[in-house]
Amino acid sequence: MAKPKVAILGGRGMLGSDVAFACRQNGFTTTVFDLPKFDIRNKSHLTTALKQVEAVINCAAYTNVDKAETQTELAYQINAEAVKKLGQIAKKTNTWLLHISTDFVFDGKKKKPYSESDKPNPINAYGKTKLKGEQFLAETDCKYSIMRIEWTYGLSGNNFVKKIVNRSKTQKHLKVVDDQLGSPTATAQVAKVICELLEKEPQDIFHYAADGYVSRFQIAKFILEKINIPVDLIACKTDDFPSDAARPLNSCFECSKIKEFLKQPIEHWQQALERFLHKL
């Protein structure tokens, strides 16, 4: 069976660039769409992107969590309204759509890892716009899957891992929160899984994250030990860092549903992160 031709929206971002690379490595005919020539809010741009493809991966998103509190309309246009337009076009063209979402659709108050059946309850503007995008997509009745991911890091773009590495080079003391729990997840890992979903085109909501749960403080400690830079690491609480947007304290995902579609077990966060640090 021939592999589907794939359009990747937001294909030059941190996740999108890894998805594009992985798709090409796995033999998918791949076309990348991104700013400045492509605007996901533009219906004609979306129509063009979905021409002559059988699948589309939407990695495009407004992701600045704090700025979303004041740029809410822009975040809504990109994370919600554009997803609705995309789903409507995918319905007309019979194109399978994989939409990337986030752990921020939850409030982080649950004591156990979140499963796909848990009721979302976002606590900031970013999470609310991402949830609305999910809801709009379901209303279009197109062939789609939603893949919620969390705490991602990659070679492109800015992320927590790169911030810790960069700050360790100039600061002797680092304060990192120890009350936010989740799974640091490499975008290269996510891209590999996306390629496996492309071959089966399921229609469902999936949670995906690296194996194992850890605090941000423990991640920072692991990074500093691996890069062997002596820094005084200080544990603190989320409330010690006032920010415009509230953060969920529990971002842990239960990932058993997606495991049914994967050829290999999900890799532990330590293995993937150590490999990434070697690349840096």
CB 242 within 8 A of CB 183: no
CATH of the domain at 257: 3.40.50.720
In a domain, 68, yes or no: yes
How many domains does the chain divide into?
Answer: 1
Q: How far is CA 111 from CA 27, 239, 240, 250, in A?
A: 41, 19, 22, 8
- Count of all residues that appear for the chain in the document: 280
Helices 14-25 and 187-198 sit at what angle, rounded to 10 degrees?
Answer: 50
Taking alpha carbons only, the member of 116, 131, 96, 101 closest to residue 202 is 96
- Judge contact between 218 and 185, C-beta under 8 A: no
| 73 found inside a domain | yes
| Crossing angle (nearest 10°) for helices 269-279 and 160-168 | 50
95, two tokens: 């194109």
Asked whether the beta carbons of 235 and 217 are under 8 A apart, the reply is: yes
Residue at 23 is within a domain: yes
Task: Look up tokens 């996306």; give the residue.
Answer: 194
Range of the domain at 112: 6-159+183-213+253-268
List the pLDDT tens digit at each of the 280 positions of the chain: 678 999 999 999 999 999 999 999 999 999 999 999 999 999 999 999 999 999 999 999 999 999 999 999 999 999 999 999 999 999 999 999 999 999 999 999 999 999 999 999 999 999 999 999 999 999 999 999 999 999 999 999 899 999 999 999 999 999 999 999 999 999 999 999 999 999 999 999 999 999 999 999 999 999 999 999 999 999 999 999 889 999 999 999 999 999 999 999 999 999 999 999 998 8
231 occurs within a structural domain: no
**Strands of the chain, DSSP E:** 6-9, 30-33, 55-58, 96-102, 144-149, 152-153, 173-177, 181-182, 185-186, 205-207, 214-215, 232-236
Does a structural domain hold residue 196? yes
- Whether 113 maps to a domain, the answer reads yes
Burial of 144 (0-12, 13-18, 19+ CB in 10 A): buried
In-domain check, residue 241: no
Burial code (b: 16+ CB inside 10 Å, e: under 16) for 127-137 equals: bbbbbbbbebb
244 found inside a domain: no
